[in-house]
Amino acid sequence: MENLKDKLKNNQLSIGSWITLAHPAIAEIMADAGFEWLVVDMEHSVITIREAEELIRIIALKGLTPLVRLTALDPNQIKRVMDSGAEGVIVPMVKTAEEARLAVKAVKYPPFGSRSVGLARAQGYGMCFEEYARSINEKSIVIVQIEHIEAINNLEPILRVDGVDGTIIGPYDLSASMGKPGRFKDKDVLEKLKTYENISKNLRKPLGYHVVQPDTESVMNKINAGYTFIAFSVDHLFLGHTVRNGLTEIRKNLHGKTVD
């Protein structure tokens, strides 16, 4: 089976999801669900670097690709999550090619990048540093989030940055940057999404999208539109929707019955 790096390069479909709840059991349950990769979200959660390492470990031991969505474009945080064993990062709010280059450099070792060297979990706690150092620049994954109107305006130079493996739309922030938060069917928002699709396809770059709500029809619509790097919902929404839908169905079927 091809790995995520190859799938991104070859524009092949891969489906993952988002983790915001720090308990290791969440990562184990999500990994066993059949996703190909999981993102530990450090931007919109209270996950600490210690908890992130635990989640990364479980995801990797389950045979999935562990990615970390950063708090910001922060080389120090990139260094720490990569040393924790992440195979790549998702960098939020990248607006320019220069920011994309900074992200790549922070992930890679010299001479291609500027990441400093440590002996942590990723390097086998010092036992397999040479093997890791030989392969990490080639194997590591850098995904930049296209979630601002400025990023759409600078999309072509961003996509041409060497070392950027893919992009993913942040639908809420993109619409918010246009003054239309959450209005995904707005004409102007749809127009910018079409611009993203056209430029990415012209440059033969993978289309990425986070379908935030656990809506399978929306996922299929994105696949049919040519998206190949798709995040399907997020742990707390899977939980919340399942509980609410189940209780709604139970109450609907009671039809006035009482429960002792």
44 assigned to active site: yes
Closest CA to 40 of 28, 22, 25: 22
Residue 123 token pair: 């390097």
Pair of tokens at residue 200 = 């990415």
In the three-class reduction of DSSP (H, G, I as helix; E, B as strand; rest coil), residue 128 is classed as coil
Q: Which 3 state secondary structure label does DSSP give 73? A: coil
CA–CA dist 92, 41 (Å, integer): 11
Alpha-carbon separation of residue 18 from 10, 161, 180, 190, 226 (angstroms): 23, 26, 24, 24, 21
Q: Which of 44, 148, 210, 241 is catalytic?
A: 44
Residues acting as catalytic residues: 44
